[in-house]
Amino acid sequence: MRSGGDTGTFFARGTDMRRAWLLVAALTLVAGCSEKSPEAPSSSVPNVTGTWTGDLTIEGVTGRMTWTLTQSGTSVSGPVLVSLPSGTVLLNGTLTGTLTGTSLPYTINITAGGVPTRPSCTGQRTGTMTLTVASSSTLQGPMAITSNTCTPPLTGTSLSLVKQ
């Protein structure tokens, strides 16, 4: 057995040890709580909402194509307009598409009256645009005619649109 003088020192040392272990445990908990847990990979969808414009040549006449897009999740839609610098409208249509990553497969429906110079003309233009997100974001890709009642028929082309 220990003597009475040793007992006080023994208890003091024991108390100091318990305090030291409590301090180590508390610091471990604080350090563990302050670490950021790993984040899940981002599954954010690029946003193409806004106005996109680019030049388009139809039957030898160069006009300005404008897509005014809205986006909900991956669904994209909006009006499409092709007009001359004078403001004369060459084509009105409605775009629908689904954005998957940076790929935007789309369809532009042109109903009767959508081509003012040919009121009975209807059709669909389709393609897949590739989105490049940058200080000047672009959509680029082909535009094919998938249905057409216009005489003479409209032809396909490539597009390059810039976000305004």
pLDDT, tens digit (0-9, with 9 covering 90-100), for 84-97: 999 999 899 999 99
Residue-number span of the structural domain to which 28 is assigned: 1-36
Say if residue 54 is in the same domain as residue 11: no
* Assigned token pair, 53: 């414009």
Say if residue 61 is in the same domain as residue 20: no
Length of the chain: 164
Domain assignment present for residue 41? The answer is no
- Supply the CATH number for residue 93's domain: 2.40.128.120
Beta carbons within 8 Å of 130's beta carbon, 6+ residues apart: 102, 103, 104, 139, 140, 141
pLDDT, tens digit (0-9, with 9 covering 90-100), for 28-72: 444 444 445 444 444 588 999 999 999 988 777 889 999 999 999
Domain assignment present for residue 100? The answer is yes
Number of domains composing the chain: 2
* Assigned token pair, 17: 């040890």
DSSP string, 48-107: --EEEEEEEEETTEEEEEEEEEEEETTEEEEEEEEE-TT--EEEEEEEEEE-BTTEEEEE
Share of the chain above pLDDT 90, in %: 59
Question: What pTM value is reported for the model?
Answer: 0.71
- Say which residue, 56 or 4, is predicted with more confidence: 56
95: Cα within 13 Å, side-chain hemisphere: 31
Report d(CA 86, CA 5) in Å as an integer: 105
Say if residue 31 is in the same domain as residue 107: no
Domain assignment present for residue 45? The answer is no
- pLDDT of 114 strictly over 90: yes
